[in-house]
Amino acid sequence: MTKLAVITSGTKGIGRATVEKFFNEGYDVATCARNQTDLEQLKSSLESQGQNKVHIRSTDMSKKNEVLAFAQMVLDLNQPLDVLVNNTGIFIPGSVHNEEEGALESMIETNLYSAYYLTRKLIGGMIDTKSGHVFTMGSIAGIDSYANGGSYSISKFALRGFTKALREEMKEHGVRVTSVLAGATYTASWEGVELPEERFMKATDIADAIYGAHALSTQTVVEEILVRPQLGDI
Protein backbone atom coordinates (compact mmCIF):
# COMPACT_ATOMS: atom_id res chain seq x y z
CA MET A 1 0.00 0.00 0.00
CA THR A 2 1.24 3.50 -0.85
CA LYS A 3 2.57 5.41 2.15
CA LEU A 4 0.51 8.38 3.39
CA ALA A 5 1.79 11.76 4.58
CA VAL A 6 -0.56 14.28 6.20
CA ILE A 7 0.69 17.86 5.93
CA THR A 8 -1.46 20.74 7.12
CA SER A 9 -1.64 24.11 5.35
CA GLY A 10 -0.07 22.64 2.25
CA THR A 11 -0.78 25.15 -0.50
CA LYS A 12 1.90 27.74 0.26
CA GLY A 13 5.41 28.21 1.58
CA ILE A 14 6.97 25.46 3.66
CA GLY A 15 3.75 23.46 3.61
CA ARG A 16 3.62 23.33 -0.18
CA ALA A 17 7.32 22.52 -0.47
CA THR A 18 6.82 19.64 1.98
CA VAL A 19 3.75 18.35 0.16
CA GLU A 20 5.68 18.38 -3.12
CA LYS A 21 8.69 16.67 -1.54
CA PHE A 22 6.74 13.74 -0.12
CA PHE A 23 4.58 13.43 -3.24
CA ASN A 24 7.67 13.30 -5.43
CA GLU A 25 9.11 10.61 -3.15
CA GLY A 26 6.10 8.41 -3.88
CA TYR A 27 3.76 9.22 -1.01
CA ASP A 28 0.05 9.85 -1.15
CA VAL A 29 -0.59 13.18 0.56
CA ALA A 30 -3.55 14.55 2.52
CA THR A 31 -3.53 18.29 3.07
CA CYS A 32 -5.77 21.19 3.95
CA ALA A 33 -5.99 24.96 3.67
CA ARG A 34 -8.70 27.57 3.88
CA ASN A 35 -8.86 28.28 0.15
CA GLN A 36 -10.57 25.50 -1.82
CA THR A 37 -9.37 26.85 -5.18
CA ASP A 38 -5.74 26.73 -4.05
CA LEU A 39 -6.24 23.16 -2.88
CA GLU A 40 -7.78 22.07 -6.15
CA GLN A 41 -4.98 23.67 -8.14
CA LEU A 42 -2.38 21.90 -5.97
CA LYS A 43 -4.12 18.55 -6.39
CA SER A 44 -4.44 18.95 -10.15
CA SER A 45 -0.84 20.08 -10.57
CA LEU A 46 0.66 17.20 -8.60
CA GLU A 47 -1.59 14.39 -9.78
CA SER A 48 -0.82 15.31 -13.38
CA GLN A 49 2.83 14.50 -12.64
CA GLY A 50 2.56 11.16 -10.82
CA GLN A 51 0.50 8.10 -10.00
CA ASN A 52 -0.03 8.77 -6.31
CA LYS A 53 -2.94 10.72 -4.84
CA VAL A 54 -3.52 14.09 -3.18
CA HIS A 55 -6.49 14.24 -0.79
CA ILE A 56 -7.74 17.72 0.09
CA ARG A 57 -10.22 19.42 2.40
CA SER A 58 -10.93 23.10 2.92
CA THR A 59 -10.25 23.62 6.63
CA ASP A 60 -9.85 26.45 9.12
CA MET A 61 -7.31 24.89 11.47
CA SER A 62 -8.03 27.44 14.19
CA LYS A 63 -11.42 25.78 14.76
CA LYS A 64 -11.50 22.48 16.64
CA ASN A 65 -14.52 21.08 14.80
CA GLU A 66 -12.84 21.67 11.43
CA VAL A 67 -9.56 20.12 12.61
CA LEU A 68 -11.47 17.02 13.68
CA ALA A 69 -13.35 16.93 10.38
CA PHE A 70 -10.08 16.98 8.47
CA ALA A 71 -8.76 14.23 10.72
CA GLN A 72 -11.85 12.15 10.01
CA MET A 73 -11.28 12.55 6.27
CA VAL A 74 -7.81 11.11 6.78
CA LEU A 75 -9.12 8.23 8.88
CA ASP A 76 -11.75 7.44 6.27
CA LEU A 77 -8.98 6.76 3.76
CA ASN A 78 -8.27 3.56 5.71
CA GLN A 79 -4.61 3.96 4.85
CA PRO A 80 -1.78 3.61 7.40
CA LEU A 81 -0.35 7.01 8.28
CA ASP A 82 3.42 7.20 7.91
CA VAL A 83 4.05 10.92 8.44
CA LEU A 84 2.15 13.78 10.09
CA VAL A 85 3.51 17.30 9.62
CA ASN A 86 1.73 19.86 11.81
CA ASN A 87 2.61 22.87 9.68
CA THR A 88 -0.26 25.28 10.37
CA GLY A 89 0.71 28.60 11.93
CA ILE A 90 0.14 32.34 11.88
CA PHE A 91 2.22 35.30 13.02
CA ILE A 92 0.68 38.48 14.44
CA PRO A 93 3.42 40.95 15.40
CA GLY A 94 3.26 42.81 18.67
CA SER A 95 4.52 42.98 22.24
CA VAL A 96 2.87 41.33 25.22
CA HIS A 97 2.06 44.67 26.86
CA ASN A 98 0.40 46.33 23.85
CA GLU A 99 -0.40 43.77 21.11
CA GLU A 100 -3.93 43.74 19.72
CA GLU A 101 -6.63 42.14 21.86
CA GLY A 102 -7.13 38.49 20.99
CA ALA A 103 -3.67 37.96 19.48
CA LEU A 104 -2.72 35.38 22.09
CA GLU A 105 -5.95 33.42 21.69
CA SER A 106 -5.71 33.47 17.90
CA MET A 107 -2.14 32.20 17.79
CA ILE A 108 -2.64 29.60 20.52
CA GLU A 109 -5.70 28.25 18.69
CA THR A 110 -3.91 28.14 15.35
CA ASN A 111 -0.30 27.34 16.23
CA LEU A 112 -0.81 25.03 19.22
CA TYR A 113 -4.34 23.66 19.38
CA SER A 114 -4.41 22.64 15.71
CA ALA A 115 -1.38 20.38 16.27
CA TYR A 116 -2.71 19.11 19.59
CA TYR A 117 -6.16 18.12 18.33
CA LEU A 118 -5.00 16.67 15.01
CA THR A 119 -2.23 14.63 16.60
CA ARG A 120 -4.55 13.23 19.26
CA LYS A 121 -7.02 12.16 16.60
CA LEU A 122 -4.50 10.50 14.27
CA ILE A 123 -1.75 9.10 16.43
CA GLY A 124 -3.71 6.03 17.52
CA GLY A 125 -3.04 4.38 14.18
CA MET A 126 0.68 4.99 14.56
CA ILE A 127 0.62 3.47 18.04
CA ASP A 128 -1.23 0.42 16.70
CA THR A 129 1.36 -0.18 13.98
CA LYS A 130 4.31 0.88 16.17
CA SER A 131 5.52 3.14 13.39
CA GLY A 132 5.15 6.66 12.06
CA HIS A 133 6.67 10.09 12.48
CA VAL A 134 5.15 13.31 13.81
CA PHE A 135 6.71 16.68 12.96
CA THR A 136 5.65 20.01 14.44
CA MET A 137 6.56 23.26 12.72
CA GLY A 138 7.97 25.34 15.51
CA SER A 139 10.24 28.37 15.22
CA ILE A 140 13.40 29.88 16.61
CA ALA A 141 10.86 32.06 18.47
CA GLY A 142 10.20 28.94 20.54
CA ILE A 143 13.81 29.01 21.76
CA ASP A 144 14.57 32.72 22.13
CA SER A 145 11.99 35.45 22.53
CA TYR A 146 12.50 38.76 20.77
CA ALA A 147 10.97 42.22 20.69
CA ASN A 148 7.68 42.39 18.78
CA GLY A 149 7.38 38.60 19.04
CA GLY A 150 4.89 38.67 21.91
CA SER A 151 2.25 35.98 21.82
CA TYR A 152 3.75 34.35 18.75
CA SER A 153 6.76 33.39 20.86
CA ILE A 154 4.46 32.21 23.65
CA SER A 155 2.60 29.93 21.24
CA LYS A 156 5.82 28.51 19.79
CA PHE A 157 7.32 27.85 23.22
CA ALA A 158 4.12 25.97 24.04
CA LEU A 159 4.27 24.01 20.78
CA ARG A 160 7.84 22.98 21.56
CA GLY A 161 6.70 21.83 24.99
CA PHE A 162 3.89 19.80 23.40
CA THR A 163 6.39 18.17 21.05
CA LYS A 164 8.81 17.31 23.86
CA ALA A 165 6.00 15.73 25.89
CA LEU A 166 4.79 13.75 22.89
CA ARG A 167 8.32 12.54 22.18
CA GLU A 168 8.59 11.07 25.69
CA GLU A 169 5.18 9.42 25.43
CA MET A 170 5.83 7.85 22.03
CA LYS A 171 9.26 6.29 22.71
CA GLU A 172 7.83 2.96 23.81
CA HIS A 173 5.37 2.91 20.90
CA GLY A 174 7.94 3.19 18.13
CA VAL A 175 6.61 6.55 16.93
CA ARG A 176 9.24 9.19 16.17
CA VAL A 177 8.60 12.82 17.08
CA THR A 178 10.53 15.82 15.74
CA SER A 179 10.31 19.56 16.31
CA VAL A 180 11.27 21.76 13.35
CA LEU A 181 12.72 25.07 14.58
CA ALA A 182 13.18 27.26 11.54
CA GLY A 183 14.45 30.78 11.17
CA ALA A 184 13.41 33.23 8.47
CA THR A 185 12.28 31.31 5.39
CA TYR A 186 11.27 33.07 2.18
CA THR A 187 7.52 32.67 1.81
CA ALA A 188 4.64 34.93 0.80
CA SER A 189 4.56 36.49 4.27
CA TRP A 190 7.98 38.06 3.63
CA GLU A 191 7.22 39.42 0.18
CA GLY A 192 7.74 43.17 -0.06
CA VAL A 193 10.37 43.45 2.67
CA GLU A 194 13.47 45.42 1.82
CA LEU A 195 15.82 42.46 2.01
CA PRO A 196 17.19 40.32 -0.82
CA GLU A 197 15.60 36.90 -1.22
CA GLU A 198 19.09 35.41 -0.81
CA ARG A 199 19.07 36.57 2.83
CA PHE A 200 16.40 33.99 3.65
CA MET A 201 16.33 30.21 3.72
CA LYS A 202 14.46 28.39 0.97
CA ALA A 203 11.20 26.61 1.79
CA THR A 204 12.52 23.62 -0.15
CA ASP A 205 15.46 23.40 2.24
CA ILE A 206 13.08 23.00 5.18
CA ALA A 207 11.12 20.34 3.27
CA ASP A 208 14.34 18.51 2.45
CA ALA A 209 15.38 18.62 6.12
CA ILE A 210 12.04 17.13 7.18
CA TYR A 211 12.23 14.37 4.61
CA GLY A 212 15.86 13.67 5.47
CA ALA A 213 15.05 13.24 9.16
CA HIS A 214 12.20 10.90 8.29
CA ALA A 215 14.34 8.87 5.88
CA LEU A 216 16.70 7.76 8.65
CA SER A 217 16.25 4.27 10.03
CA THR A 218 13.52 3.79 12.63
CA GLN A 219 16.27 3.16 15.18
CA THR A 220 17.15 6.86 15.03
CA VAL A 221 15.16 10.03 15.68
CA VAL A 222 16.17 13.63 15.11
CA GLU A 223 14.44 15.25 18.05
CA GLU A 224 14.92 18.83 16.87
CA ILE A 225 15.82 20.35 13.52
CA LEU A 226 17.25 23.83 14.14
CA VAL A 227 17.93 25.75 10.94
CA ARG A 228 18.79 29.41 10.42
CA PRO A 229 19.85 31.60 7.49
CA GLN A 230 23.59 31.39 6.93
CA LEU A 231 24.04 35.07 7.87
CA GLY A 232 21.95 34.69 11.03
CA ASP A 233 18.48 35.65 12.16
CA ILE A 234 16.49 38.44 10.59
Q: Does some domain include residue 112? A: yes
Q: How far apart are CA 127 and CA 169, in angstroms?
A: 11
Domain range for residue 158?
4-227
Query: Are 138 and 160 in contact, with CB atoms under 8 Å apart?
Result: yes
pLDDT tops 80 at residue 59: yes
CATH of the domain at 128: 3.40.50.720
pLDDT for residue 188: 73
pLDDT for residue 31: 98
Tell me the pLDDT band of 182, cut-offs 50, 70 and 90: very high
Tell me the pLDDT band of 190, cut-offs 50, 70 and 90: confident
The total number of structural domains in the chain stands at 1
Three-state DSSP string of 117-160: HHHHHHHHHHHHHCCCEEEEECCHHHCCCCCCCHHHHHHHHHHH
Q: Does some domain include residue 210? A: yes
Tell me the pLDDT band of 164, cut-offs 50, 70 and 90: very high
Q: Does some domain include residue 22? A: yes
DSSP H helix total and E strand total for the chain: 7, 7
Q: Does some domain include residue 233? A: no
Tell me the pLDDT band of 196, cut-offs 50, 70 and 90: confident
pLDDT for residue 90: 93
